Amino acid sequence: MIQVRELTKLYGKKQVVENVSVDIQRGQITSFIGPNGAGKSTLLSMVSRLLDADTGEVLIDSTNTKKLKSNEFSKRVSILKQSNYMNVRLTIRELVSFGRFPYSKGRLNDEDEKMVDQSIDYMDLKEMENSYLDELSGGQRQRAFIAMVIAQDTDYILLDEPLNNLDMKHSVQIMKILRRLVDELGKTVVIVLHDINFASVYSDRIVALKNGRVVKDGTTEEIIQSAALKEIYDMDIPIQQMNNCRICVYFNS
Amino acid sequence: MKKRYLIPTLIILSIVSLFVGVSSISVSDLLDFQSEETEIFLISRLPRLVAILLAGAGMSMAGLIMQQLSRNKFVSPTTAGTLDATRLGILVSMLLFANASMLEKMTVAFAFALAGTFLFMQILNRIKFKDAIFIPLVGLMFGNILSSITTFFAYRADVIQNMSAWLQGDFSMIMKGSYELLYISVPVFIIAYLYANRFTVAGMGEDFSKNLGMKYRSVVNIGLVLVALITATVVLTVGIIPFLGLIIPNIVSIFKGDHLQKTLPHTAMLGAIFLLVCDILGRVLIYPYEISISLMVGVIGSFIFLFLLFRRKAYA
Ligand SMILES: Nc1ncnc2c1ncn2[C@@H]1O[C@H](COP(=O)(O)OP(=O)(O)OP(=O)(O)O)[C@@H](O)[C@H]1O
Ligand SMILES: [Mg+2]
């Protein structure tokens, strides 16, 4: 379990994350939703130690994350940021292999190679594994990054808007893969999503942020309600039940 | 760009280099250990070859490491002020110690090379506008400032006759006893190779490195130390060789990508080959005179650099 305890982040005098406490349960997909600028990315960066919090702490399986060595931490928590600009010429396979860096420091053994193969297969990238990243489309690159995070094989996987740049087919494919990682391999996935229907269909819990604060935190059924969504987004969003999925019809709200 | 071609090319060129020169040496001369030819061979030709190989490999690797750490393909010892800082360091060592020993010069030159490169990286961090071309321009300006400071003090102290020619790369003076400092770069190469994967990760950015559990800052610092060590030894022994650290890594990157563990050996070999070619050409073009290496590399290198600039859109 990841326990976020009273985290605060200031930029200048502005509190972009304000006294946030959340519990993230093991073996679940927890989605973070909320308007632009709500502080989702900042929160995720603090949980994954990319950013120092001003106050508060994060516990992972009851250990303060500050107490963990960086190499240890990177075997337990991985993060994929919202944008991954880089002009390094690596092939997909080389990039995914770096997901094994915490274990092998770049000298891959058989088990590492197996994980790399598996992750590439998972992301449907086999036939282009030797293409250079700078010669791929935005969505293909995004899938390569996700494959790398899967190869990192951490208990906790944090993804900041991983569906950026992806077409419908691949968005669905990735959400299904995340579901499988959770259901079959017992991983814990934390994901920032803007499309609340993906959050509704695939997550176990939803945490809503707004102006740096948690405004809603509950099971998917509790949050995907017109009243709750109104509070989060200031929009009247009707909800329809279709094939056991609760779909928010927000397009003309 | 395969090792299978690079290695034989390197060997053939090395042999050619050993037997090209004002006094002709044949293999049979060498069999007589007492001969004058053998002496020339051991005192001048062999040291020259070793110096070319080490300097060529070294400057190219230094450039590659800098490009990776700065995440910019146009950063190199030439375009980040490292060479100018080293030169300033050598001048300072001459002013500080009346008859500076090689070690004293080396220490001060290294300190300046490191400080200069570090300062450039700090400037880089502050710049919001990270255009691929803009950054090396800033570096060149930074280098020119350092160079002006060097000129100023050199004239004031009246230690150097001709500033523009001072410490320009030149292999014709390399002899037994004057180049051995370059061997420092051998262990540096090995360390660089051992750190190759870390440099590649660092090239993907700070957050990326942290996610993979790597201590980004210390890896960058180690990289800068290696670059400064290589640059200081090369400038002290053979002088400034411009462009090498810029063009060689870029050519290798086009063909082999940026996985340093895979490309460092290629970069080192291609750098040595390029420098050998320039040196041999310089020796035969106006035989029996010599065109200095910095001029050869400068001319050929700037053309390749321009070519790279124009095809930048195609790959960078
Ligand atoms: N480095 C920074 N300096 C100053 N302010 C920042 C910085 N990074 C983020 N902010 C501010 O913090 C607030 C939260 O940003 P954050 O990126 O966490 O939002 P978000 O919820 O991820 O938004 P989005 O949905 O657009 O990705 C924003 O108002 C942003 O302007
Ligand atoms: Mg964000």
Q: What's the whole-number mean pLDDT along residues A223-233? A: 93
- Closest Cβ–Cβ partner in A74, A86, A107 for B204: A86
| B 197-216 residues inside an 8 A Cβ radius of A | 197-198, 200-201, 203-205, 207-208, 210-215
Using alpha carbons only, what angle is made at residue A126 by residues A122 and A129, rounded to the nearest 5 degrees? 115
Radius of gyration over alpha carbons of chain A, in Å? 18
Q: What is the pLDDT of residues A11-28, one digit of tens each?
A: 999 999 999 999 999 999
* Inter-residue contact A70 to A62 (CB < 8 Å): no
- Give me the pLDDT at residue B313, please: 57
Residue A253 maps to a domain? no
Q: Which CATH number covers residue A122?
A: 3.40.50.300
- pLDDT(B188) > 90: yes
Distance from CA of B205 to the nearest CA of A (A): 8
The confidence score (pLDDT) of residue B131 equals: 75
Residue B316 has pLDDT above 50, yes or no: no
Chain A contacts of B212, Cβ < 8 Å? 74, 98-99, 101-102, 152
What average pLDDT does range A86-113 have in this prediction?
92
Which of B19-33, B204-218, B274-288 is predicted with the least confidence, judged by mean pLDDT?
B19-33
Return d(Cα B80, Cα B122) in angstroms, integer: 11
Tell me which range, A54-68, A75-89, B166-180, is most confidently predicted by mean pLDDT.
A54-68
């935190």: which residue's tokens?
A217
pLDDT tops 50 at residue B141:
yes
ipTM over 0.85: yes
CA distances, B59 to each of B105, B139, B245, B282 (Å)? 19, 17, 5, 19
A245-248/A239-242 β-pairing = antiparallel
Q: Strand A156-160 to strand A55-60: parallel, antiparallel, or no bridges (unpaired)?
A: unpaired
Residue B39 pLDDT > 50, yes or no? Answer: yes
Chosen for mutation from A48, A72, A88 (greatest number of chain B CBs closer than 10 Å) is A88
- Residue position matching structure tokens 């092939």: A91
Residue B6 CA neighbour count, 13 Å, CB half: 17
pLDDT in tens, B224-247: 999 999 999 999 999 999 889 999
Cβ of A20 closer than 6 Å to ligand 1, yes or no, is: no
Q: Which of A42, A160, A161 to mutate to test the pocket of ligand 1 (most atoms within 8 A of CB)?
A: A42
Average pLDDT, chain A: 93
CB contact under 8 A, A50 and B207: yes
Would residue A213 count as lying in a domain? yes
pLDDT at B136: 85
pLDDT at position A86:
76
Q: What is the pLDDT of residues A114-131, one digit of tens each?
A: 999 999 998 999 999 999
**pLDDT of the residue at A24:** 96
Please name the member of A70, A72, A90 whose beta carbon is closest to the beta carbon of B215: A70
Mean pLDDT of A54-80: 95
The answer, yes or no, to whether residue A155 has pLDDT greater than 60, is yes
Range of the domain at A176: 2-248
* The predicted structure's pLDDT at residue B35: 77
> Which residue(s) pair with A159 in the sheet?
A80, A191
Best residue in A86, A98, A153 to probe B by mutation, most B CBs within 10 Å?
A98
Confidence of residue B314 (pLDDT cuts 50, 70, 90): low
Most confident of A155-159, B80-84, B181-185, B306-310: A155-159
pLDDT tens profile A67-77: 999 999 999 99
Q: Of A229-233, B27-31, B176-180, where does the model show the most confidence?
A: A229-233
User: Computed from CA positions of residues B102, B103, B109, B114, in that sequence, does the dihedral angle turn out positive or negative?
Assistant: positive
Question: Peptide bond before B47: cis, by omega within 30 degrees of 0?
Answer: no
Comparing B90 with B305, the larger pLDDT belongs to B90
Range of lowest pLDDT (A103-107, A152-156, B202-206): A103-107
Q: So what's the pLDDT on residue B269?
A: 96
Q: A35 C-alpha vs ligand 1 centroid, how far in Å?
A: 11
Burial of A234 (0-12, 13-18, 19+ CB in 10 A): exposed
Give the tens place of pLDDT for each residue, B2-27: 788 999 999 999 999 988 876 777 77
Q: Which residue has the higher pLDDT, B127 or B262?
A: B262
CA A218 to centroid of ligand 2, rounded, Å: 21
Position A80 pLDDT exceeds 90: yes
Q: Is residue A83 part of a domain?
A: yes
pLDDT for the residue A138: 85
- Establish if A24 belongs to a structural domain: yes
pLDDT at A56: 95
Q: Which residue of B has its CA nearest to A152?
A: B212
- A90 and B200: CB-CB below 8 Å? yes
Tell me if residue B271 falls in helix, strand or coil: helix
Cα Dmax for chain B: 65
Tens of pLDDT, residues A167-187: 999 899 999 999 999 999 999
Q: Mean per-residue pLDDT for B287-303?
A: 87
From A9, A40, A191, A210, the mutation candidate for ligand 1 (largest count of ligand atoms within 8 A of CB) is A40
Give me the residue label for tokens 């180049």: B179
| Dihedral pair phi/psi, residue B193, rounded to 5° | -65, -40
Q: Is A212 in the pocket of ligand 1 (CB under 6 A)?
A: no
Query: Residue B196 above 50 pLDDT?
Result: yes
Tens of pLDDT along B64-95? 999 999 988 889 998 899 999 999 999 999 88
Number of domains in chain A: 1
Q: Are A198 and A171 in contact (CB under 8 A)?
A: yes
